[in-house]
Amino acid sequence: MEQKWWHNKTAYQIYPKSFYDSNGDGIGDIKGILEKLDYLKELGIDILWISPVYLSPCADQGYDIADYYQIDPQFGTMEDMDTLLAEAKKRDMHVLMDLVVNHCSDEHEWFKKACEDPDGEYGKFFYMEKAKDGKLPCNWRSYFGGPVWEQVPGTDYYYLHVFHKKQPDFNWENPKLRESIYRMINWWLEKGLAGFRIDAIINIKKPLPFRDYPANREDGLCDMGQVLADARGIGEFLGEMRDRTFKLHDAFTVGEVFNEKEEELPDFIGENGYFSSMFDFRQTVEGKSPLGWYDCRKPEPEDYKRCCFESQRRSEGVGYLANIIENHDEPRGVSHYLPDGARNERGKKLLAVMYFMLKGIPFIYQGQELGMENTVFKSIDEVDDVGSKDEYRRCLEVGYSEEEALKIINHYSRDNARTPFQWNGEDNAGFTKGRPWLAVNPDYPDINAEEQMGRKDSVYAIYRALISLRRNPVYENTVVYGKTEPVLSGEKDIMAYVRRGEDQDILVVGNFDGRDREISLETIEGCKGKVTLLINNCEDFTMDNQRLILNPYQAVVIAYDRF
């Protein structure tokens, strides 16, 4: 595999609205990111992914873009963005922005012109269809609930939106639309961006012509996952976008890709893939249900390790996945994946070690390095996220009480990840001097950056150690390029794998059990010779005669010299 500049990097996602507020209006901003660049540098971050800061009415928190060439005033100015790019470069850091090109905002100039003349040039930038015999063009269900079709005011046309009704879908079948998007992408890359995180990209190819699919709920509509499974030919769009934009700038791109077909992985992230990498969502979707959150099942440790190892197997020799435990669209990973007894600092470090040491590009979501947890909503009125509100309604529709529905929302809501970053134990967790746009998690006096940065045994400290190990010249080749070989697979609630390099092995073992576990290493090929303990989330380390004793929720990383 050809080595790329981004292979040995560690990435960090910033959700600007909740990261740091520099002016006291309760909303995080670009100047706030600037003020905290040194924090990120000290942590060891190389790549920053900044969620949308474009001009937007924020029907879906900035993923509804009204102008791709402007910064929304709530986040600052284009001058602020230019300063951020320059200051990041001084620190040898690379900045990514979100590329949201499946849809825009209904307040975008193109869509306004489309509504004025659905049959005109800009009408063809979108999907504008007439109802037939009083029936919508198809029975697809929006990701946020309800039909994907919304009437264009004052006309008999309907426009397609697979997300919010204020997010009309672009018609990628139109080459003029694609040219306009490519101009915008190159404009940003020429400005100094290192690349993009590419949002919801699998949705750009629809199965045409529009038709109904078997309904999977009592509303008579069909889930978009089922619809997209029937789409063919997305590679023509993605390959063209790569060649016309990313490839020209040696950009790093990471795709938000769901529903890709197994055989398509090399096309997405292979030697000449559409993207540099794509997020590994296998464990994210584990236990999810098309019926709604009420029907979801929380993954067990055995589910988690199976999903991780399946992804490692299918990507080996193909390309690099981007490894995550959470992002702005998911609950906090430590609240979702860890057993009840492991929701403490040791358990949080265990989860950090097990995902971070996998082959791929590790992404850290803001606050993850502190072990930030899900918050508690006492009422649905405290929830901001449009998707969570739809799921709450869905719970009530199928018979759950308000109390039961709120409990479900408390676990799965996207707002869990969007509560303000917890900088210190002062008012509003040090996020703002004003009133925060979303309530701060009440656990901030106990979980905050200031407290953890001054403590050698904190969750923050183990993330720093993991990042440092990744760039340590003694181990870098194995950590970055070594194969992942699952071992001890018969040991329930033990997740273990070896990273095999050219002349070195690194063993990673974690105990998800609430009991001490004795592990025999005799069956693991190469686990002999001189041992170097690299990472340990406990004070104890007991190993002798190929026997390793793990405390509850202990994780260790051990290097072996080969004979």
- Which residues form the catalytic set? 199, 256
Place of tokens 């073992």: 509
3-state secondary structure string, 206-247? CCCCCCCCCCCCCCCCECHHHHHCCCCCHHHHHHHHHHHHHH
Three-class SS of 247-270 = HHHCCEEEECCCCCCHHHHHHHHC
Closest CA to 515 of 489, 539, 549: 549
Amino acid identity of 346? R
Quote the CA–CA distance of 46 and 194 in Å, as a whole number: 11
Burial class (CB in 10 A: 0-12, 13-18, 19+), 408: buried
Enter the tokens of residue 204: 């750009």
Q: Are strands 252-255 and 277-279 parallel, antiparallel or unpaired?
A: parallel
Alpha-carbon distances, residue 299 vs 256, 284, 402, 489 (angstroms): 21, 9, 25, 17
Rounded CA-CA distance 228/208 in Å is 11
Any idea which residue has 């008012």 for tokens?
Answer: 427
| Structural contact between residues 495 and 510, judged by C-beta atoms closer than 8 angstroms | yes
User: In which order are the strands placed within the sheet that holds 517-520?
Assistant: 517-520, 547-550, 542-544
How many C-beta atoms surround the C-beta of residue 57 within 10 A?
15
What's the rounded Cα separation, in Å, for the pair 300 and 2? 36
Backbone angles phi, psi at 455, to 5 degrees: -130, 125
Rounded to the nearest 10°, the torsion over CA 240, 241, 244, 246 is -130
Question: Taking Cα atoms as reference points, which of 229, 226, 227, 234 lies closest to residue 210?
Answer: 227
